[in-house]
Amino acid sequence: MRWLGHRLVEASALVLLALVLGLTLNAVRREPLPYDLPASLLLTQSGARVVFTGEARRLFDDAHFVFVDAREEHEFLEAHIEGSLSLPPARFDELYPELRLWTAGQPLLVYGESGNILAADDLARQLLAAGEELVVILAGGLDAWRSHGHPVDGGPEGLLGAEGSAAPAPRSAEPADRAGGEEEEQ
């Protein structure tokens, strides 16, 4: 019986040591994991995978993903991730064909407002239902991106469906009819 009590004390000490070590390592990470992570950020109705800011920045730097803003147009005009395109879920049917001209099957990263993943998840669901193969969602939205000092723009570039405006020129995509084609002579 005494042997069992001794083993329980050892096991408890190991668990406590692992907990302290884990919390300490997290505290010194460049991008610590949040302690109060809502389950809704990890389990989306759309089935899209959620990425945190560090991974999103790597995707941004690789320039293979097209970033898509799920917020309303007026919010996009105020500030958006550099090179992103605006596609509010309520205007999906109207604007998706224009988005397709620019994405040409590229993977998509969708983001919305900081505390509200619903619009981003709704847009991700619509994109996946429309046949997009790879859609991920940025946890924390634009606020998380901006809080890490990553590039943010404002203005109409990337605003799909803007009346009288030239087609957007996102950072990571070219229109499908120009992508992979020959370069224009100068």
Beta-sheet strand order (sheet of 135-138) = 49-51, 135-138, 108-111, 66-69, 85-86
| Same domain? 104 vs 64 | yes
| pLDDT in the model for residue 74 | 94
Q: Which domain holds residue 114?
A: 39-153
For residue 159, the cross-strand partners are 86
Over residues 63-112, the pLDDT tens digits come to 999 999 999 999 999 999 999 999 999 999 999 999 998 888 899 999 99
> What pLDDT band is residue 22 in, cutting at 50, 70 and 90?
confident
Question: Would 128 be classed as within a structural domain?
Answer: yes
pLDDT digits (tens, 9 = 90+) for 127-166: 999 999 999 999 999 999 999 999 999 988 888 887 644 4
| Same domain membership, residue 110 and residue 22 | no
Q: Which of 3-12, 28-37, 175-184 has the lowest mean pLDDT?
A: 175-184
CB 44 within 8 A of CB 106: no
pLDDT of 170 higher than 60: no
**Is 158 within the bounds of a domain?**
no
**How would residue 185 be classed by pLDDT, with cut points 50, 70 and 90?**
very low
Residue-level pLDDT at 36:
55
At 12 the pLDDT is 76
Looking at the structure, tell me whether residues 22 and 61 fall in a common domain.
no
The predicted-structure confidence for 146-156, as pLDDT tens digits, reads as follows 999 999 999 88
**The pTM is what?**
0.69
Q: Are residues 99 and 12 in the same domain?
A: no
pLDDT exceeds 60 at position 27: yes
Closest CA to 67 of 108, 9, 12, 95: 108
